[in-house]
Amino acid sequence: MEAKRVAVAGFGNVGKGVIEILLQKQIQELKLAKIVVKHPDKSRPFNVDPNLVTTDFATVVNDPTIDIVVEVMGGIEDARSLIMDALQNGKDIVTANKAIISSGAEIFSLAAKQRRIIGFRGTFVGCNTLIHDLSLSAGRIHKMCAILNGTCNYILSRMSRLGVSFEQALKEAQEQGYAEADASEDIDGLDTARKIQILSGVINNTFNMPSDVFCEGIREITMQDIQYSRELGYIIKLVGMVEREDNSATIFVRPVLMPQGSLLASVEDANNAIELEDNFGVVSILVAPGAGTYPTAVAIINDLLDIAHGDTSMMPTSSTPIILNDAGDIEARYYLRLTVIDQPGVLAQITRILGDHKISLASVIQKAEVSAKAVSVIVTTYTVREKELRAALAKIDHLEVVKAKTMVIQILA
Ligand SMILES: NC(=O)c1ccc[n+]([C@@H]2O[C@H](COP(=O)([O-])OP(=O)(O)OC[C@H]3O[C@@H](n4cnc5c(N)ncnc54)[C@H](OP(=O)(O)O)[C@@H]3O)[C@@H](O)[C@H]2O)c1
């Protein structure tokens, strides 16, 4: 087999791993042909032949001897135009760019027209080894619940295990290199949302992924929530969820309370995990690192090898969009943390409103003072439609005795 000639656009955290493996591992099927960078004078972690390096996309896109372009630059505009031009010129693509693949209908359509392949394992590194099984399982996976962001899992693990504050745990995540200086994409859930969009596309065999996935991050989670949920037998995790019904799916990203003994609850630190439930109710789980130079570079190398071997089975092939269910129709149990004045009759006012909305309570616990004038009351509900709960809370949060917006966290059964 003649080796495929590969251009790598990007020599940063991910690119350096891909380039190092291509140069050092002597993979028979792959040959490094070009490296595209933005700043050619920047010092690199190892030396490469200067003739390989360019800043000009055209030298890659117009070179008929280059078979595959690996896009690991990040960003949107330049990356998209490189990918589109390379596809137009008959090249296969491998990318780790979540922002591009999660809204990738245009790119996948062009790839189909050009009969080219898009490898995108690097967009969900933590469960990329499942991609073939997932893509062959269209219609067979009922539910996917996944921890897809290492930064958030690290923060929540540190808060839970060591009792450090959110701010301190975030600082440690940044020091460890898990989180960017601006970690908002991670902690506001957007990174997880992109990954769950892509994964739902894979398990439903569509490249037309929903853009308005319900998304909540972990900014509002306090040490109180971590402690109270632990007392109730739960751990808080940020998850991405896809639950398929006949012709539609419920997809969301949010922190949830999960039972302490569950498999996903035991996934600590920056690890990622994916739990799958098939149509027969059988559950399996994979745990793996979700980012970093080598895990991501290896995911990319595996895509390159698939392309070299002519294996296209990881690509979604249908443009039929997923019909999204309204997140307000989620039926679940909920944890509520209310901040109220410590005086007789307050609980009665709250439970009356919840009762008016037919919301039954599983437990009500009054906790210690959170300030001179307010206490926390922790309520867990039985199963309720989320819309109904939100309607009740809109009234509760307007009561004079309620001193802060009520914290709401879904409980996973
Ligand atoms: N880091 C991870 O663990 C991880 C995991 C999964 C997915 N990803 C994804 O992988 C991609 C790359 O991430 P990264 O962490 O490797 O980024 P990075 O460290 O910032 O590296 C970006 C590289 O792209 C080059 N570049 C940027 N814009 C360019 C342009 N317009 N023309 C030519 N070169 C350009 C930069 O060149 P210079 O070096 O010359 O400035 C740099 O080498 C992103 O889409 C990211 O979301 C990353």
Per-residue model confidence as pLDDT tens digits over 201-219: 999 999 999 888 999 999 9
Say yes or no to pLDDT of 114 above 90.
yes
Residue 177 lies in a domain: no
Please state the domain count of the chain.
Answer: 1
Closest ligand 1 atom to the C-alpha of 100?
Answer: 45
> What residue's CA is closest to ligand 1, atom 25?
10
> What residue's CA is closest to ligand 1, atom 7?
96
Say yes or no to pLDDT of 367 above 90.
no
**Residues 16-26, mean pLDDT to the nearest whole number:** 96
Query: What is the domain extent for residue 351?
Result: 328-411
**Residues 264-270, mean pLDDT to the nearest whole number:** 95
Measured in Å, residue 97 CA sits from the centre of ligand 1 at 9
Measured in Å, residue 360 CA sits from the centre of ligand 1 at 50
Q: What is the pLDDT of residue 370?
A: 67
Q: Return the best residue to mutate from 73, 123, 149 for the ligand 1 pocket (most ligand atoms within 8 A of CB).
A: 73
> What residue's CA is closest to ligand 1, atom 30?
38
Closest ligand 1 atom to the C-alpha of 73?
Answer: 24
Q: With contact defined as beta carbons under 8 Å apart, do 219 and 332 qualify?
A: no
Closest ligand 1 atom to the C-alpha of 10?
Answer: 24
Closest ligand 1 atom to the C-alpha of 79?
Answer: 31
> What residue's CA is closest to ligand 1, atom 26?
73
Q: Which residue has the higher pLDDT, 323 or 246?
A: 323
Measured in Å, residue 187 CA sits from the centre of ligand 1 at 20
Say yes or no to pLDDT of 400 above 80.
yes
Say yes or no to pLDDT of 306 above 70.
yes
| Dist. CA 217–CA 257, nearest whole Å | 14
Phi/psi of residue 72, each to 5°? Answer: -130, 45
Q: pLDDT band at residue 391, thresholds of 50, 70 and 90?
A: very high
Measured in Å, residue 145 CA sits from the centre of ligand 1 at 28
- What's the whole-number average pLDDT of the chain? 94
Residue 405 lies in a domain: yes
**Residues 285-313, mean pLDDT to the nearest whole number:** 93
Sequence-distant (6+) residues with CB within 8 A of 74 are: 10, 12, 97
Ligand 1 site residues (CB inside 6 A) read 9-15, 36-39, 42, 72-75, 78, 96-98, 122, 125, 291-292, 296
**Residues 142-156, mean pLDDT to the nearest whole number:** 96
pTM of the model: 0.94
Residue 99 lies in a domain: no
Q: What is the pLDDT of residue 136?
A: 85
Residue 161 lies in a domain: no
As a whole-number percent, the residues of the chain with pLDDT over 90 amount to 86
Lowest-pLDDT choice from 6-10, 287-291, 303-307, 392-396: 287-291
Q: What is the pLDDT of residues 39-63, one digit of tens each?
A: 999 999 999 999 999 999 999 999 9
| Dist. CA 183–CA 91, nearest whole Å | 34
Closest ligand 1 atom to the C-alpha of 292?
Answer: 3
> What residue's CA is closest to ligand 1, atom 14?
13
Q: Return the best residue to mutate from 13, 93, 293 for the ligand 1 pocket (most ligand atoms within 8 A of CB).
A: 13
Q: Which residue has the higher pLDDT, 412 or 178?
A: 412
**Residues 377-396, mean pLDDT to the nearest whole number:** 97
Measured in Å, residue 85 CA sits from the centre of ligand 1 at 19
Residue 270 lies in a domain: no
Say yes or no to pLDDT of 177 above 90.
no
Say yes or no to pLDDT of 314 above 70.
yes
Say yes or no to pLDDT of 155 above 70.
yes
**Residues 19-28, mean pLDDT to the nearest whole number:** 95
Measured in Å, residue 236 CA sits from the centre of ligand 1 at 31
What residues does 337 pair with on adjacent strands?
Answer: 378, 407
Residue 317 lies in a domain: no
> What residue's CA is closest to ligand 1, atom 29?
38
| Dist. CA 255–CA 274, nearest whole Å | 15
* Catalytic residue ranges: 195
Q: With contact defined as beta carbons under 8 Å apart, do 17 and 38 qualify?
A: no
> What residue's CA is closest to ligand 1, atom 4?
291
Residue 363 lies in a domain: yes
Measured in Å, residue 10 CA sits from the centre of ligand 1 at 5
**Residues 83-91, mean pLDDT to the nearest whole number:** 98
Closest ligand 1 atom to the C-alpha of 16?
Answer: 16
Q: What is the pLDDT of residue 295?
A: 93
* 3 state SS of 278: strand
Give the CATH number for residue 353: 3.30.70.260
Q: How many CA atoms lie within 13 A of 258 on its CB side?
A: 21
**Residues 221-245, mean pLDDT to the nearest whole number:** 95
- Cβ burial, residue 222 (10 Å; 0-12/13-18/19+): middle
Residue 340 lies in a domain: yes
